[in-house]
Amino acid sequence: MISKNKLKELAAYRLQKRCDEEAAFVVEGDKMASEAMASGYTIRTVCATAEWLSVQGGRLIATETFEVSPAELERLSNFKSPNQVWMLVERTGSPLADPHAPLVLALDHIQDPGNMGTMLRTADWFGVRHVVCSRDTVSCFNPKVVQSTMGAIFRTKVDYVDLPEWLSQSGMPVYGASLRGKPLRQVALPGGPAALVIGNESRGISPEVMACVTHPVLIPNIGGTAESLNASVATGILMNWMTDTGK
């Protein structure tokens, strides 16, 4: 069982600041807990219902484990409907970036946690294991981002960098989503490693980063009525195009 003081201590991790200070992040729910247990990341603390522990406890390796009631779990959760298990995971153990990866996703001032998480999940789907972000992009360890990744956070290297500097020094062709770009079918696919830049949800790619884009590309508005695409949807379309091997 968990003491009131311990529960209060762990509830502080609902705040991003506390997670940042402790170099940890929160995982909730059976799906994400299973991903964490399979990832090789160090699990610091587990709070779970008796039902969850009876089924999954045998697989669990954690520094400390507490059986909690649904009401106690609710005090820890960032969500309205807590789901059986809450974990505090060490940030160390992030996968290494592959220097020979065919595609790197670059995110410029992405602010919405749901979009960020979906982009990481989409990158995972297309085998993109390295994501570089401008320093003003939402934290990949934001609880809503973590949950939205559906486990991709454990398989994707995410770096926060001076994005214009990183792109200019990468030596790769840089593709960027732009309303002023050429339609996809008029742009040649990269013959080797490349970077794909996705800009802010409302303002697009910043001028500083756009200066590094060598291949601005446009997703044609075939319907002709919608004003714009959601940033994460655009990411999926462009990744599908850039990773198309004809299979």
The amino acid present at 163, given as its one-letter code, is L
Element (H, E) at 129: none
| pLDDT number for residue 141 | 95
In order of start, what are the domains of the chain with their CATH numbers?
4-90 (3.30.1330.30), 103-242 (3.40.1280.10)
How many whole angstroms separate alpha carbon 229 and alpha carbon 241? 16
Low-confidence ranges of the chain (pLDDT < 50): 246-247
DSSP 166-204: HHHHH-S-EEEEEEEEEEGGGSPPPSS-EEEEE-BTTTB
Contact residues for 151 (Cβ-Cβ < 8 A; gap 6+): 31, 32, 35, 124
| pLDDT number for residue 98 | 66
Burial of 94: CB neighbours in 10 Å, binned 0-12, 13-18, 19+: middle
Q: How far is CA 166 from CA 157, 172, 207, 212, in A?
A: 15, 10, 15, 10
Q: pLDDT tens digits, residue range 100-131?
A: 678 999 999 999 999 999 999 999 999 999 99
* CA max distance for the chain: 63
| pLDDT number for residue 191 | 80
| pLDDT number for residue 183 | 93
In 10 A of CB 161, how many CB atoms?
14
